[in-house]
Structure 1
Amino acid sequence: MSFPAYPANKRSGVEWLGEVPEHWNITPLKFSASCNDTVLPDSTDDDYEIGYVEISDVNEMSGITGSTSYKFSDAPSRARRMLQNGDVLISTVRTYLRAIAPVVAPPENLIASTGFAVIRPRKGILDGTFLGYLLRAEWWISEVIARSVGVSYPAINASDLIGLNVPVPAWNEQTQIARFLGHETARIDALIEEQQRLIELLKEKRQAVIFHAVTKGLDPTVLMKDSGVEWLGKVPAHWGFGKIRYFAKIESGHTPSRSKPEYWENCTIPWFSLADVWQIRSGEVIELYKTKELVSEFGLANSSARLLPKGTVVLSRTASVGYSAIMGCDMATTQDFANWICSSKLDNTFLLFCFRAMKSEFDRLMVGSTHKTIYMPDIAGLVCSVPPMDEQREIAAHIKTSNSKFGDLIDEAERMKKLLSERRSALISAAVTGKIDVRGWQPPASASFTESAQETV
């Protein structure tokens, strides 16, 4: 779908805005909106229950996604910004997170962190819905990030924020732009959600293929027997099964003491820790290579840690439980991992896929509330199927081929999501800066919801 341009434009005088429609005003935001107007007073009753919104509860695409309930006496000291319909939340700290969201029909007790600037449109000057789109335009977000100060914790002062120039169309144009964007972004959002559902379905099917292959094999006609192991169920009659430690040597990871700095100098040993688990969360990585070097050979020799051989299967057992990979080079790990060195009876890639099929077993064994863990005795009791070696390798190859196909489909769906998100962002920026003229726009009456959404991509 294409949209006309305005018939006459003028220079805005603002580099990141470029030209705007001739009849639009350009003013600092503070002239058309206020900032941080209302604060929850310290005299609030201790038993008053609030819904607290922090930065992790906000993103530019989904808006305010949640809140945490507290009694005022138990709430964080940052829980002070009072909200009302039409406000826009902008995070002034860690601005790279792009935590910006309109406030739509909030409950009276919804309170935001002081890490936000609460921008409130002035009546008769700015429409709240238009403002919500205006402050999520890419040029605005980029400018806020660019003006933030600090390396690890970049922030911008609220006074600097509201000093930035913004375009202000006439009121009836603002409401028409908001109406247009509400309709069109809803269509794009529906397509994004459709792609997300497809991604989840593909991941579920990928997991089902892995589970079926390592528990039932590839021959649908084979005779089965009951394994007596809950997560395995029935397995082919000619397969073995048993505790993994009977077929692979288990090694716990270790971390040398930081109390002896000389152990950490001249680092040369590849080291895998919980901070590196992000590399294997997707379930697509099979071989894990050098991550970082955290300990010297001298430190390794003077600790209970040891360098494990290439081919060792790594299994995380604390915090990020159940993620697995195969060492692609000699490597050491922290004690957050159980490491398995396979014997000649167990193929390491087959074992890897057994671990990836064991989610229900890991869920059963995990203990702890906020910091989930599986204790080493329970790790030592894990059971897997053990087909003949040639069949193990055939199954592993089949899963790798299947995973590759699913991976390609997931990548394509992710690419489509990205394109849709970019289209959404571009449409918002174009509309609120007057690059397209939507004054004569009306919702299409005849096109179906999906057909119209596809036209916007």
Structure 2
Amino acid sequence: MMKISEMPKYEVYKDSGVEWIGAIPVHWNSFPLCAKSKLKSISNNENEELLSVYLDKGVIKFDDVDAKRTNTTSSDLTKYQLVDPGDFVLNNQQAWRGSVGVSDYRGIVSPAYLVLSLSEDIVPRFGNYLFRDGAMVANYLVSSKGVGTIQRNLYWPQLKRALVFLPPTEEQLLIACFLDKKTALIDEAISIKEKQINLLKERKQIIIQQAVTQGLDPNVPMKDSGVDWIGKIPAHWGCTAVKRLLDIPITDGPHTTPQLHDEGIPFISAEAIKGGEINFDKKRGYINEKDYLLFSNKYTPKVNDIYMVKSGATTGRVAIVRTEMKFTIWSPLAVFRVDKNKLNPLYLYYFLQSYSFLKGVELSWSFGTQQNIGMGVLGNLFALAPPLEEQQLIVNSIEPHFREIDIASEQVYQQIEKLKEYKTTLINSAVTGKIKITPEMVEQ
């Protein structure tokens, strides 16, 4: 891909007067957003298709409308707002993060959203790139108010004065065509690399399944485990309810919602559990010392504790505590603390990720508004218990393979991040006039 620094520039620029925009081409004009859009709120269209706005996708529609409607926060859709193709839609509480977009569809959105009809001076495809670009997102942050960093409300009286910088419509269309073509190529490259990541994850899963359910000796005598989803296991291994292998009963975090702060003690929930680790960058927020001491009466994290997500879309994901840093957890996480006289913590950590255990989880969870599995049910699921010495050998055999796979995965992740960064910079450079898009560039 061509370096952005090597792409052509406009001949003459002028100061935009806006710090995060910088210089713009001299023939581009600035307008307050309200001069090129109009706030609209048309209700009583409950039979239209439901739409929403997502951070990474913009305005989307749902293929299974009826299923989605059963999960809406309101059964009364008469107040939902009509959106026409070409309308600009902003998620009122998440716009400051970039959850906005120009719609390709007709449908209805939450009454809490802002819906703007755009002037003919804005080409919708160009507008979608412009309004989702970081330079415009800065305006949504300035025009939003809220406590902390979890949720902020966007206010139209402030937003309407935000400046938009527009080239002529013919130039907008040229830029949109260029970005459509180039971002599609970047997205395709990202998709290929994500498939490589998935293959590496599958390789991990195969290694785990073989080692924790079959052992390391291919010639060892086998017996029926008595559990359909586990099958045959080495004859000298035990198979028992996981609760009998633990040092404390399975527990979880508080079922109350604490006040979150911008600093303090990390408060961890399901979104931080990924890839077998706790990602503290994905913490739910921070709590104060008073709440931490209160929650610690129920549970205090300890090195080698294992967490499993027990509710929501990621039910079954696990992570192991590898830090002595002070933090605590919320109720969606179940805690496994092993009896070290019976289990190696790392052996259980790997076993909980095996196809066999995850199949047991899947067969046992219940559905309400989301999938869920209770701690009592988890405790009664079966786990395998080889001799302790053999558990350590199994762990020792798994970890070198994982290090190789993790190194390969990290290299691919870095490539993906560079592609995403290139895409973001390319869009920003095009919609703010930092580069000049020519017809030849569109054809390349």
For the aligned pair, the TM-score class normalised by the smaller chain equals 0.7 to 0.9
Partner in structure 2 of residue 449 of structure 1: none
1:132 aligned onto 2:128: yes
| Pick aligned residue for 1:171 from 153, 169, 188 | 169
| Pick aligned residue for 2:25 from 16, 21, 28 | 21
Deviation at 1:317, TM superposition (A): 4.5
Deviation at 1:364, TM superposition (A): 1.0
CA contact (8 A) 2:89 2:113 kept: yes
Mapping 1:91-110, distance limit 5 Å: 91-104=91-104, 106-107=105-106, 110=107
Partner in structure 2 of residue 268 of structure 1: none
Secondary structure of 1:39's counterpart equals coil
| Pick aligned residue for 1:63 from 39, 58, 70 | 58
Letter in 1 for 2:60: T
Partner in structure 2 of residue 347 of structure 1: 344
Secondary structure of 1:10's counterpart equals strand
Secondary structure of 1:441's counterpart equals helix
Partner in structure 2 of residue 283 of structure 1: 276
Partner in structure 2 of residue 160 of structure 1: 158
1:10 aligned onto 2:14: yes
Deviation at 1:147, TM superposition (A): 3.3
Letter in 1 for 2:275: S
| Pick aligned residue for 2:113 from 113, 116, 132 | 116
- Single out whichever of 86-95 and 217-226 deviates more from structure 2: 217-226
- Single out whichever of 309-318 and 184-193 deviates more from structure 2: 309-318
Partner in structure 2 of residue 242 of structure 1: 240
Deviation at 1:325, TM superposition (A): 4.6
CA contact (8 A) 1:315 1:324 kept: yes
Partner in structure 2 of residue 50 of structure 1: 48
Moved runs in structure 1, 4+ residues, more than 6 A? Answer: 254-258, 306-309, 329-336
| Pick aligned residue for 2:316 from 322, 326, 332 | 322
- Single out whichever of 373-382 and 151-160 deviates more from structure 2: 373-382
Secondary structure of 1:201's counterpart equals helix
Distance 2:112 2:21 in 1: 27
Deviation at 1:421, TM superposition (A): 1.8
Q: Deviations over 1:83-122 (max 9, x none)?
A: 2222222233333331112211x14xx0122333323332
Distance 1:331 1:163 in 2: 42
Mapping 1:186-335, distance limit 5 Å: 186-253=184-251, 275-284=268-277, 294=291, 300=297, 305=298, 311=304, 313-315=306-308, 317=310, 321-326=315-320
Distance 1:99 1:339 in 2: 37
Structure 2, gaps ≥5 residues long:
259-264, 280-285
Distance 1:160 1:247 in 2: 59
Secondary structure of 2:439's counterpart equals coil
1:34 aligned onto 2:37: yes
Partner in structure 1 of residue 283 of structure 2: none
CA contact (8 A) 1:241 1:383 kept: yes
After superposition, the CA RMSD in angstroms is: 3.7
CA contact (8 A) 1:58 1:99 kept: yes
Deviation at 1:378, TM superposition (A): 3.5
Deviation at 1:200, TM superposition (A): 2.6
TM-score by length of 2: 0.79
Distance 1:121 1:256 in 2: 46
Partner in structure 2 of residue 451 of structure 1: none
TM-score by length of 1: 0.77
The count of residues paired between Structure 1 and Structure 2 equals 412
Q: Deviations over 1:56-84 (max 9, x none)?
A: x422x42223345559993356512x222
CA contact (8 A) 1:35 1:162 kept: no
Distance 2:330 2:137 in 1: 39
Partner in structure 2 of residue 401 of structure 1: 400
Secondary structure of 1:36's counterpart equals strand
Structure 1, gaps ≥5 residues long:
259-263, 265-270, 446-457
Distance 1:252 1:10 in 2: 64
Partner in structure 1 of residue 145 of structure 2: 149
Distance 2:306 2:316 in 1: 12
Q: Deviations over 1:327-377 (max 9, x none)?
A: 666999888635443252432221222122111101111124235444455
Q: Deviations over 1:403-449 (max 9, x none)?
A: 3333333333332222222211211111112111113334456xxxx
